[in-house]
Amino acid sequence: MNRNPFIVLVDIDAPLALWEEGLVAAARRHFPGVRTADAGSRVEWNLHTGLTAAENHAVTEVMEMPGFYRSLEPVPGAVRALHEMLDSGIEVFLCSTTTLELLRAGDVSPVLAAAARDAASWAG
């Protein structure tokens, strides 16, 4: 079998989906009494830096919600590009990351499980 030698890793959060915008909108919708900074206003990569306990809880709860990743709006042109790569025989893997705090605690499963469940829907 003649395989395409290319493997492409596509990050879910921003190259494929408008993750931060979706997170902010969902946090404001589900936790209206909790302050949520505007998308694009963070100055730290770690989205938990500087948050209160209530803000941390809201962010984590939203990321673990079933269907959260599926509900994200795609970056314009991203789904088409994903399908073009798949149609040309390129092996495409969707990737994401987690916070160092969750890695240290050994508790990455809820967020990654939610992402894995939902991200497959973008590949159609």
87 is catalytic: no
Q: Which residue has the higher pLDDT, 37 or 21?
A: 21
Strands (E), 1-124: 7-11, 91-95
CA 87, CA 115: separation in Å to the nearest integer?
23
Which pLDDT band holds residue 27 (cuts at 50, 70, 90)? very high
Tell me which amino acid residue 27 is: A
The percent of residues in the chain predicted with pLDDT above 70, rounded, is: 74
pLDDT of 8 higher than 80: yes
pLDDT of 18 higher than 60: yes
| CA-wise closest residue to 68 among 31, 102, 19, 16 | 19
**Which member of 13, 87, 107, 118 is catalytic?**
13
Which pLDDT band holds residue 79 (cuts at 50, 70, 90)? confident
CA 99, CA 116: separation in Å to the nearest integer?
16
11 is catalytic: yes
**Look-up of token digits 């240290």:** 104
The residue ranges of every structural domain in the chain are 7-123
Tokens of 8: 């492409």
Average pLDDT (65-73) is: 84
**Look-up of token digits 């991203």:** 78
Whole-structure pTM value: 0.71
Tokens of 93: 């893997």
